[in-house]
A and B are shown apart, each in its own frame.
Chain A
Amino acid sequence: MIFLDHAATSLLKPSSVEYAVAHALRTMASPGRGGYGPAMSAANTVFRCREQAAELFHVPEPEQVVFTMNATHALNLAIRSLACRGKKVVVSGFEHNAVTRPLHALQVRTLVAGKRLFDRDDTLREFSRLLPGSSFAICTAVSNVFGYILPIREIAELCRKEGIPLIIDASQAAGVLNLDFQELGAAFMAMPGHKGLLGPQGTGILLCGEDCMPLLFGGSGSDSRSQEMPPFLPDRVEAGTQNVCGIAGLLAGLEYVKMRTPESLHRYECSLMKTACSLLQAGRCELFMGEEGTQTGVLSLRVPGMDCEFLAQSLAEQGICVRGGLHCAPLAHESAGTLETGTLRLSFSPFLSENQVKAACGAILQFL
């Protein structure tokens, strides 16, 4: 099997993640629900994971790190927290349904800033034009379809100057780009634990720079006599038993990312992408490539006259795992002009070899 769908989930993981999950499953109970060994061991693991995340993303205090089920859950928390203050939002042209669907459900008026793929100047110009008078802004740091690295630092600066709270969707950036939450000054930053951070599915993180409203209500292991959720983070938005096994795995993933460093992981994934580009350019593929420094290890392509889902399925039958279609991001496809055809997406993992990439490209070229 050759796994080229790292942008969906990190199937290939460090062995330490597998060990941590199995160890937690055998030895850990629920944090904050008892003072006995297995509960305190779970509490210690969860706290260490908060600390590691806070350190990696430069968050002042570990209690600003909230654990969620996934990035979608984290984004819903953030969007609901800000949408109650105003109903006009600016988003980039490359947002995922995890952003656009909650906005639609909450009937927030959405202005789309910057639809030109790999054009950072256009993205910035459009944010600058649309931000004044809006209630908040949301921007993905990297497009999940095209790997386009948006100018998030500059957008964050614009938001700070306008006094507009910003939500950053770091789903494709966490673990491969350096993101300094304190320097960015964002209201919230959401990310999955199971992509670039190499943790298990069912884990996500919301970094909170502002007060966060609960989505779920229930036990928190604190202030139990009150029927209100506790007023402090993280308890306020972490109702119910936590995914301790997942968080233990996420802790191991974070430690691995810190050891390898996001820069080196990004470099390696980009080198694999370049190998793929050079091989596929020889065929009649239409590749969506940005200039140096504007793309992560995510590559979308189209083969003229061939249905991307059919191609993805044909590759799956050969044990090559890629993703075809709209990637839950119709807005990004609309911006790039690929809404009707979709694309075939290859996304590269730090655990993939160059030979595997060459073999996968060879299989794609056989269809041309």
Chain B
Amino acid sequence: MRQVWITFRSLTHAQRAATSLERKGITASLTRAPKELSLRGCAYAVVLRKRFGEAAGLIGELKLPSAQYFERLESGEFREVQL
């Protein structure tokens, strides 16, 4: 199943994104970002399994800084994507 990981430098920003998505009925789980997505050290990710475009639109409206989107490939690797 396709997975999109949205990373944030701030835990609070990630929480706001996850909460906003959940309130719109979009399932979003919050987790620590893997090291390869945390180039500045310690970041957080919101993981989505569906409704990616809708979620990206909503997060765009929140104007949260530093949101980056990655698709998790079947190999386990991540590839940055634009949604």
Contacts and interface: CB of A to CB of B under 8 A. Distances in A.
Interface residues of B, number: 19
A308 to B, nearest CB: 45
Contacts of B15: 43-44, 47, 62
Nearest to B12: A63
Contacts of A223: 9, 40-42
B31 to A, nearest CB: 5
Given A222-B42, A225-B40, A61 B10 contact: no
Interface string B1-40: 0000000011111011001000000000011100000011
Interface residues of A, number: 23
A178 interface: no
B42 A221 contact: yes
Interface string A23-49: 000000001101100001001100100
- The DSSP consensus for interface residues of chain A is loop
B60 interface: no
Contacts of B19: 47, 51
Contact of B10 (A222, A224, A225): A222
Given A222-B42, A223-B40, A232-B65, A62 B12 contact: yes
Interface of A: 31-32, 34-35, 40, 43-44, 47, 50-51, 61-63, 221-226, 230, 232, 234-235
Given A222-B11, A234-B12, 13 more contacts: A32-B42, A40-B30, A47-B16, A47-B19, A62-B12, A222-B10, A223-B42, A224-B40, A224-B41, A230-B9, A235-B10, A235-B11, A235-B12
